[in-house]
Structure 1
Amino acid sequence: MTGRVTRSLSPEALARIAEAVGEAESRTAGEIVVMVSARAGLYRSPVLLAALIAALAAPWPLIALTGWSAAGIALAQAALALAILSLGASEALRLRLVPARAKRARAREAARRAFRQRGLTRTRGRTGVLIHIALAEQHAEIVADAGVLRAVAPGTWDATIAALLVALRRDEIEAGLVGAVRSVGAILAEACPRSAGDIDELPNRVIVSE
């Protein structure tokens, strides 16, 4: 899945997800933030590397098997490199060239970077939780701050992430995110219940990154 987030989530859908966040937070001291990114990376390096390797390798069979001049071989090198670079303009093709492990690592890093940059480490009780999805990579990640990690056992989010990934594969993004928000909210309501004086420290709106 590639393209703009707004093609997958309408303003009305984003509003319904934000409403689910507000409802979930009404029962917990936790702060839930949802972020939807079109992609975690552009992945241009594999295309550049492929073009370089092809250009370096191309002269040898031409020298051995043809009587082409040096100028002709140089033109063939350039044409091959340009052809590969042109194909690399397709995001879908670039994604196919990148190993799944590399895409997962890039998406995880993007989620952790967003967690820091979006202020989730600055809540009073360190109770921020980010639900992050990268559409192009079909990756979902939940990142929690120290206050939540002290109260929630490792692996607690696994079922939530698994359900969200199923929804992504079915292109049911809104339903998947609403379900994830409700699941995270239920976990936080038990682990970090709301108390008197708790305030909503972070906006409920969905963060969209194209």
Structure 2
Amino acid sequence: MTQIDYYFATLSPYCYLSGTRLEEVAAKHGATINYKPFDIIQGFGRTGGTPPKDRHISRIEYRAQELPRQAKKLGMPFNLKPAHWPTNGAPAAYAFIAAQNAGGGDLGLLAHVITRAVWAEEKDIAQDDVIRACLTEAGFDPNLADSGLLEGAETYARNLEDAVEAGAFGAPFYVIGDQRFWGQDRIEDVDLYLQGKL
């Protein structure tokens, strides 16, 4: 069975815009998704990237145009300047990892509702009540927000190392064997690759 390693960041607007399209593609091809939340800001520093706040004005201005365009194209609500961004994305990532280990819910939906909370719902994903609500919506025990924090922190750090080793330098980033795909606008390419057309 084909495995897709999905490197994502709980604070990434592009991960939000990916919605659950990757899950739809994986289901279509009988592929599994290995979710690997990681610290994208640390990832930028490790792979030659620049955090959004430190980018050249031309890149900042382009991002301000491109994100709303992509959201409109996808028919998704989007706030370019959410009330709680940046915030600490680690607690939500730790809760995601706890949910991943516990099972019983929909991880794809959980990844989406966490990012949606930031970019469409003006919520702070560093807050316990927000994380609990996300877990509940995706079919997980909300108490996972308070469990496995040490293991979550260790896995989160390990996922960063895995991302760097795999050649992932942004999010969302999809790795299938030796093939790498960067960006929510490459999900179609993932589909074509799994069809044997790329």
Give TM-score scaled by structure 2 length: 0.27
Give TM-score scaled by structure 1 length: 0.26
Structure showing greater relative contact order (alpha-carbon pairs closer than 8 Å, 6 or more residues apart): 1
User: Which protein shows a greater Rg?
Assistant: 1
